[in-house]
Structure 1
Amino acid sequence: MNKLWKELRGWIGSIALAFILTLIIGVFIVQPTKVSGHSMDPTLHDGQRVYISKLPHTFGYTPKYGDIVIVDSRTTRKRSLLDDIKDHPLFHLFEKNNEEHIIFIKRVIGKAGDELRFQDGHVYRNGEKLDEPYLYEAMHYSSNETVIVPDNFVFVMGDNRNHSQDSRAIGSIPLDHVLGSKIGAK
Structure 2
Amino acid sequence: MWVRVTVRGNSMSPTLHDGQKLLVRRLFRRPRDGEVIVFRVPDPELPHRVKRVAAVAGDPVPSWLAATLPGLSRVPDGFVVVVGDNPRSQDSRQLGLVDCGDVVGAVRGT
- For normalisation by structure 1, the TM-score amounts to 0.52
Match of 1:155 in 2: 81
1:51 aligns with 2:28: no
Q: Within 2, Cα distance between the matches of 1:171 and 1:37?
A: 19
Structure 1 runs of 4+ with >2 Å offset:
142-148
Paired residues of 1:69 and 1:178 also in contact (CA < 8 A):
yes
Match of 2:39 in 1: 71
Shift in CA distance, 184/51, structure 1 to aligned 2, threshold 3 Å: farther
SS of residue in 2 equivalent to 1:31: strand
Q: Within 2, Cα distance between the matches of 1:101 and 1:154?
A: 20
Q: How far does residue 46 in structure 1 lie from its aligned partner after superposition? A: 0.3
RMSD value, Cα: 2.4
Mapping 1:110-129, distance limit 5 Å: 110-115=55-60, 116-118=62-64
Q: How far does residue 167 in structure 1 lie from its aligned partner after superposition? A: 1.2
Q: Within 2, Cα distance between the matches of 1:177 and 1:156?
A: 13
The one-letter code sitting in structure 2 at the alignment partner of 1:41 is S
Paired residues of 1:117 and 1:147 also in contact (CA < 8 A):
no
1:109 aligns with 2:54: yes
Q: Within 1, Cα distance between the matches of 2:87 and 2:81?
A: 13
Any unmatched runs of 5+ in structure 1? 1-28, 75-98, 124-141
Count of matched residue pairs: 107
SS of residue in 2 equivalent to 1:32: strand
Instruction: Answer with 1 or 2: which has the greater Rg.
Output: 1
1:40 aligns with 2:19: no
The one-letter code sitting in structure 2 at the alignment partner of 1:160 is N
Higher normalized helix content (fraction of residues): 1
Any unmatched runs of 5+ in structure 2? none
- For normalisation by structure 2, the TM-score amounts to 0.85
Q: Within 1, Cα distance between the matches of 2:59 and 2:109?
A: 28
Higher normalized strand content (fraction of residues): 2
Match of 1:94 in 2: none
Q: Within 2, Cα distance between the matches of 1:168 and 1:148?
A: 15
Q: Within 1, Cα distance between the matches of 2:6 and 2:109?
A: 12
Question: Identity, % of aligned pairs?
Answer: 37
